[in-house]
């Protein structure tokens, strides 16, 4: 039976590893070799990785690939993507090349507003609270001056603070709802610092208020935290061309393709089961770039999926229209990203990826990431409405299956050649591998 441990975080890295090996592994030598094989041979670099999080024992690698030929607002990009799913980088690359020949991607940052809230409970009269808020609001901002000084010098800072009555949703529940501009920073630490100062001032200034104080003194702040739902931090990316220009090697009838493609988007707009998988494909592209650039993909995922439900039901993040002879496909999506702070200047590969993207501003990165999501969705819908999704996906997955069965390089070459003209399935790969081995 596993023994509990106290003070694990205070152990050395070696002591942590030895405890894990003692608790969970019979073949401790093999397990330890696996852990140490993934250490970076550069001790300084490994120490940097060890200090990113607590209780680090080794590194967990994801492949870093690139998708070239992205033309975005008449500027060429090669987009880095950190992801383990076999077909994502290939699909993005195919979309990039397809639209490169048709004018490329056009993008616009619609807005960059971030949100944070102080959640509190108040049991008095709402009008008393409103009067106090109007009085204290200038002090909320002035007391945060030491926090906002540097951000304001760069053109950002606090945009506004509102009092929101949420008592219909939850008894005695109110918010200070604040909006921020954080420029090239994602802004989580900045926003949270401001919110905690708001909460302190909001409570402390009751003593100096000239109005009714009795009910205000019972005010109870529950928490102060930014929101990862940023419906006013929006970027739009789109592609368009005459319908007849959609013709390609696998699109023989562009009129039929455009009609079926739009129907596929419309189905994802109206059917939740389809919309979830549809949007998951979009996030394949988005998350891969977000990870490669050192941003928080969990925050992006949470905010994006909330946005997909903003009209009351979960729906497609992409849209399609056919207006006369013009085919148009686009996405509007909330993306709170940063190009300074966090890992963006700390992780060596993140710095490499940022440099490859021409050291983008946060607005630039929003546009690049949105394009990656749109390109991924175009590739998926193109496959679904023409050859089917499995043909391309399983061919990309072929090497994974062969590696699973420890195929030799000669076996890989033979079977890759075989499946150029045969349908890939897990069972068929196993069958052909066995035939090869028993020949």
Cβ-based burial of 239 (10 A; exposed 0-12, middle 13-18, buried ≥19): buried
pLDDT class for 391, splitting at 50, 70, 90?
Answer: low
Residue 406 sits at φ, ψ, to 5 deg, of: 55, 45
Residue 218 pLDDT greater than 90, yes or no? no
Residue 276 pLDDT greater than 60, yes or no? yes
pLDDT class for 1, splitting at 50, 70, 90?
Answer: low
pLDDT class for 393, splitting at 50, 70, 90?
Answer: low
Q: How far apart, in Å, are the Cα atoms of 308 and each of 226, 233, 264?
A: 20, 14, 17
Catalytic choice (236, 280, 395, 412): 280
Q: How many CB atoms lie within 10 A of CB 229?
A: 18
DSSP 177: E
Which one is predicted more confidently, 433 or 267? 267
Nearest to 334 by CA among 359, 364, 369: 369
Can you give the pLDDT at residue 392?
55
| 85 is a catalytic site residue | yes
Residue 295 sits at φ, ψ, to 5 deg, of: -100, 175
For the chain, percent of residues with pLDDT exceeding 70? 97
Structure confidence by residue, pLDDT tens digits, 164-190: 999 999 999 999 999 999 999 999 999
| 184 is a catalytic site residue | no
Catalytic choice (13, 16, 50, 85): 85
User: Residues with Cβ < 8 Å from 421, sequence gap 6 or more?
Assistant: none
Residues 52-88: b if buried by 16+ CB within 10 A, e if exposed: eeeeeebeeeeebbebebbbbeeeebebbbbbebbbb
Can you give the pLDDT at residue 11?
96
pLDDT class for 2, splitting at 50, 70, 90?
Answer: low
Catalytic choice (296, 363, 382, 397): 296
Q: Where are the domain boundaries for CATH 3.30.70.420 in the chain?
A: 114-227
Rounded-to-integer distance, Cα 390 and Cα 95, Å: 17
| 296 is a catalytic site residue | yes
* Residue appearing with tokens 């954080």: 182
Catalytic choice (269, 347, 393, 397): 393
Residue 305 pLDDT greater than 80, yes or no? yes
Structure confidence by residue, pLDDT tens digits, 16-53: 999 999 999 999 999 999 999 999 999 999 999 999 99
| 280 is a catalytic site residue | yes
Q: Where are the domain boundaries for CATH 3.90.770.10 in the chain?
A: 65-111+231-387
Can you give the pLDDT at residue 419?
78
Q: What is the CATH topology of the domain spanning 65-111+231-387?
A: 3.90.770
CATH tag, 114-227: 3.30.70.420
Structure confidence by residue, pLDDT tens digits, 69-123: 999 999 999 999 999 988 899 999 999 999 999 999 999 999 999 999 999 999 9
DSSP 41: S
């Amino acid at each position: 039976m596993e023994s509990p441990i106290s003070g694990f975080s205070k152990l050395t890295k070696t002591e942590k590893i030895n405890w894990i090996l003692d608790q969970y592994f019979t073949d401790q030598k093999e397990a330890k070799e696996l852990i140490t094989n993934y250490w970076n041979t550069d001790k300084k670099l490994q120490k940097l990785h060890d200090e990113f999080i607590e209780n680090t024992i080794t590194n967990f690698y994801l492949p870093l690939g690139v998708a070239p030929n992205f033309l975005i607002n008449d500027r060429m990009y090669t987009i880095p993507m950190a992801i383990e799913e076999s077909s994502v980088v290939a699909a993005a690359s195919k979309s990039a090349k397809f639209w490169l020949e048709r004018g490329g991607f056009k993008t616009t940052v619609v807005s960059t507003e971030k949100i944070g809230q102080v959640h509190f409970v108040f049991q008095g009269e709402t009008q008393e609270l409103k009067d106090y808020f109007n009085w204290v609001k200038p002090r909320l901002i002035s007391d945060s001056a030491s926090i906002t000084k540097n951000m304001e010098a760069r053109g950002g800072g606090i945009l506004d603070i509102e009092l929101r009555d949420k008592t219909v949703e939850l008894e005695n529940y109110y918010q200070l709802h604040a909006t921020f501009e954080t420029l090239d920073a994602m802004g989580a630490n900045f926003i949270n610092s401001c919110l905690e100062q708001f909460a302190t001032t909001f409570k402390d200034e009751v003593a100096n208020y000239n109005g009714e104080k009795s009910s205000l003194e019972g005010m109870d702040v529950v928490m102060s935290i930014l929101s990862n739902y940023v419906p006013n931090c929006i970027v739009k990316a789109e592609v368009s061309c005459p319908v007849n220009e959609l013709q390609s090697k696998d699109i023989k009838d562009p009129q039929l393709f455009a009609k079926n493609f739009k129907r596929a988007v419309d189905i994802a707009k109206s059917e939740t089961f389809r919309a979830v998988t549809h949007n998951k494909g979009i996030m394949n592209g988005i998350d891969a770039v977000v990870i490669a650039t050192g941003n928080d993909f969990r925050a992006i995922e949470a905010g994006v999926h909330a946005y997909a439900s903003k009209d009351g039901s979960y729906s497609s993040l992409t849209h399609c229209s056919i207006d006369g002879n013009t085919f148009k496909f686009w996405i509007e999506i909330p993306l709170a990203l940063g190009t300074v702070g966090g890992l963006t200047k700390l992780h060596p590969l993140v710095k490499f990826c940022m440099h490859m993207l021409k050291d983008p501003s946060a607005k630039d990165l929003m546009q690049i990431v949105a394009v990656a999501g749109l390109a991924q969705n175009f590739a998926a819908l193109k496959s679904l409405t023409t050859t089917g999704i499995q043909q391309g996906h399983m061919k990309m997955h072929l090497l994974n299956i062969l590696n699973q069965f420890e195929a030799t390089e000669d076996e890989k070459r033979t079977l890759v050649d075989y499946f150029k003209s045969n349908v890939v399935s897990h069972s068929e790969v196993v069958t052909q591998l066995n035939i090869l081995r028993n020949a």
